[in-house]
Structure 1
Amino acid sequence: MSSKKESFIGTVGFVMVVCLVCAALVSVSAVQLKPLQTANKLLDKQTKILEASGLLELGQEKGIVPTYNQFVTAKMIDVATGDYIDGNADLFEERRDARDAEKSSKPNNDIAGISRRADTQVVYLVTDGSGSVNTVILPIVGSGLWDLMYGFIGLEADMNTVKSVVYSDHKETPGLGAEVMNPKWKALWPGKKMYDDNGDIAIRIVKGGAKSGDMHGVDALSGATLTSVGVEKTIHFWLGEEGYGPYISNIREKGLN
């Protein structure tokens, strides 16, 4: 009996030692890999921003990081006022801050289906060869069919003409909602106008296809009605008063440069 008891205790002890060793290895690996994961995450974001600004091809030729550093400046803003504020744009995480009640707010009209909106955001000013800002990249987030979709809107200096709409992260259905990543669909956006002559948000996703010459219409995603509606509502939210509306108003009043 004593032998069996000692055998049981020995087995339990061995299992505990193995568990402790495995836990230690996992912890050490997580700590060692975190800087690499952070760097890869930042590189992916910079790649998407270059795509949204029309500089991805140059970045692939000369390097993503050097191209980003040469042409892009990231700035923090207070969403409510649209004013620039101090802060480390590289360390900002919208997903983290949106979950923090002290760093986020519940929208009065949550058409994007985000529940909470971070009180600060990062905007990206893209310059041309002479140093003048010609594109502003605005991060966006809103509900699709299955979950939140994250992306960027690129606007020309008039803060109305679309340079690009680029989605970077989503869980939409392959072949349907996931077509937000399709180059053919993304190519429909450049040159469209977000606002009408009265300053109202006019961009819309058109089921069945936008008519030729429609400056505010973009073809809906075939077979993905809810994703298409989500894209439209997301853009309307972020270009409105609870999104980048105050910031856009500031730029129109004071200019970019």
Structure 2
Amino acid sequence: MNKNSNSYIIIYSTVMVVVVAALLAVASLSLQGRQNANILNEKKQAILASLGAGDRNYDEYITAYAVDANGQRIEGIGGNEVIQMLFDLETAVKGGTYPVFESSDHRYVLPVSGKGLWGPIWGYVALDGDMNTLAGVVFDHAGETPGLGAEIATPKFQAEFPGKTIFEGSEFVSVKLRKGGATEANIAHEVDAISGGTKTSDGVTAMLYNSLNNYLPFFAARREAAAVSAQAQPAEEQAPVTEVSNE
């Protein structure tokens, strides 16, 4: 065949494209397990980071489970099965299944997801045992503007959240990113919005409110359990009285 002919060039190019595509497909399949393991580990590290416990061992420190729309723990769902829900959190939530990651010191990490200016945003919110005070947050995004909306993924921005509260008395108010800066009157529930990143800031506000709102029955159930435990504790600690005979 004439190597300078158009037909030869077309056939040669087609064969090369097919060979390269096949090699890439084989490489992708062979590395898929390792890639999934890396993504899984990344999610575990983000959960630990939201608690300020990046140096802890996830498997020793965290217990993963899921709760239903009534805030009750779903039996038979735990471990990596809960982590897998994070790959398609929207579907899990629509099905009434909500992942919870509880630390050994009884703090709780809840996954949140929403939409920014250019695409999905997501993260993890850690709550203290009072189910009200934020212990920390981790946020990430798919394609927010560098230097503007992308600032949600920076430690400096995330450092504004610990200590904020999501309830005003018994009313759920979440935490809001306020354009122009947090107001003194609502300093417990507000952080400064990102300058030049209004749409992303609004997306984070909506993400926090909508995602945490799903867990209100869980918060109520945990508070009720804590109250019952507190009432029972004195009786349990009280030492039995032994009568001493004078005989």
TM over 0.5: yes
* Bigger CA radius of gyration: 2
Code of the residue aligned with 2:66 in structure 1: it is M
User: Match of 2:203?
Assistant: 230
- CA–CA distance in 2 between the matches of 1:54 and 1:248? 21
TM-score norm. by structure 2 comes to 0.78
Structure 1 residue aligned with 2:137: 165
Task: Report Cα offsets for 1:27-72 as digits up to 9, x if no partner.
Answer: 321221011101110111111111101101x24xxxxxxx111111
* Contact 1:170–1:178 under 8 Å retained in 2: no
* Root mean square deviation, CA, Å: 2.7
Aligned residue runs from structure 1 range 22-37, under 5 A? 22-37=20-35
Q: Report the alpha carbon displacement of residue 11 of structure 1 after superposing the two structures with TM.
A: 6.8
Give the secondary-structure state (helix, strand or coil) at the position aligned to 2:157.
helix
Within the alignment, does 1:190 sit opposite 2:180 as a pair? Answer: no
Preserved contact between residue 201 and residue 239 of structure 1 (Cα < 8 Å): no
Which of 68, 72, 75 aligns to 1:83? It is 72
Q: In the alignment, what sits opposite 1:53?
A: 51
Q: Structure 1 or 2: larger helix share?
A: 2
Post-superposition shift, 1:16?
Answer: 5.6
1:170-194 Cα deviation digits (max 9, x unpaired):
3211111111122222111111111
CA distance 1:184–1:16, change in 2 (3 Å): closer
1:218 to 191, 199, 207: 191
CA distance in 1, matches of 2:102, 2:218: 13
* Contact 2:141-2:153 at 8 Å conserved across structures: no
Structure-1 residue corresponding to 2:85:
92
Question: Which moves more between the two structures, 188-197 or 247-256?
Answer: 247-256
- Alignment gaps of 5+ in structure 2: 230-247
Gaps of 5+ in 1: 60-66, 106-117
More displaced stretch, 20-29 vs 9-18: 9-18
What letter matches 1:81 in structure 2? N
* 1:126 is the counterpart of 2:103: yes
* Aligned partner letter, 2:44: Q
Contact 1:48/1:168, CA 8 A, preserved across alignment: no
Letter in 1 for 2:29: V
- Matches of 1:179 and 1:10, distance apart in 2: 53
Residue 254 (str. 1) matches residue 206 (str. 2)? no
Residues 238, 245 of structure 1: 8 Å contact kept: no
Contact 2:135 2:162 in 1 (8 A): yes
- Aligned equivalent of 1:113: none
- What letter is aligned with 1:122? P
1:180 alignment partner in structure 2: 152
Q: TM-score, normalised by structure 1?
A: 0.75
Deviation at 1:12, TM superposition (A): 6.6
**Aligned equivalents of 1:32 and 1:159: distance in 2?**
43
1:9 to 1:141, Cα distance in 2 relative to 1, 3 A: same
The match for 2:62 is 72
Question: 1:179 and 1:15, CA in 2 relative to 1: closer, same or farther beyond 3 A?
Answer: closer
Q: Which of 91, 112, 117 pairs up with 1:140?
A: 112
Contact 1:147 1:172 in 2 (8 A): yes
- Paired with 2:201 and 2:125, the residues of 1 have a C-alpha distance of 15
Q: What is the identity, as a one-letter code, of the residue corresponding to 2:103?
A: V
Shift of 1:24: 3.1
Q: Shift in Å at residue 138 of structure 1?
A: 0.5
Q: How many residues align?
A: 221
SS, match of residue 209 in structure 1: coil
Task: Find the aligned partners of 1:202 and 1:121 in 2 and give their Cα distance.
Answer: 18
For 2:155 and 2:204, the matched residues in 1 are separated by 16
